[in-house]
Amino acid sequence: MTNKQKQLIDAYQEMHSMTLPECECTCRVPYSCCDPMACEMAIRHAKESWGITLEHTGHPRLPLMEEGRGCIAEPHLRPNCTVHTCQINSFGYKPNDPDWTGRYFLLREQIEDLEMKVLAEREGVEDDAEDDNGTPGDDSSGSGEEG
């Protein structure tokens, strides 16, 4: 596992720690957004992006839901579910909690950035936006104007 993959997994775990209580405590019907299509998307993502096969649990409606445990997929294997909250989806923010909303969007931006870097690693593309020190790289390609 690369350093960027570990950072991405950690960021998704942090997001899960933020969004799970929202689902459990804020929603009118907790876990009501879970649906079979989201499970199938997670199964495909886990296989294609991480090489992990997620097995159906036998739940009558939700392929990744297990009685007494909840979803069996780790947060990074189900990115759409991990970042979802009803309030963010409905309003674009968490009402009456601008600090939580700010942390949420900063973390989501970090996740999106890490996703791009991990994808570049998988495809063997160098990330020239930053050097090894995490500072902006030198664009030595010229003036950027076409001649």
What is the Cα–Cα distance from 138 to 50, expressed in whole angstroms?
31
pLDDT per position as a tens digit, 18-53:
999 998 888 888 788 899 999 999 999 999 999 999
146 pLDDT above the threshold of 80: no
pLDDT per position as a tens digit, 73-126:
999 999 999 999 999 999 999 999 999 999 999 999 999 999 999 999 988 876
pLDDT per position as a tens digit, 11-20:
999 999 999 9
pLDDT mean over 62-68 = 92
What is the Cα–Cα distance from 124 to 108, expressed in whole angstroms?
24
Take residue 78 and report the two structure tokens written for it: 């189900």
- Give exposure, 100-112, as e/b (b: 16+ Cβ within 10 Å): bbeebeebbeebe
pTM of the model: 0.82
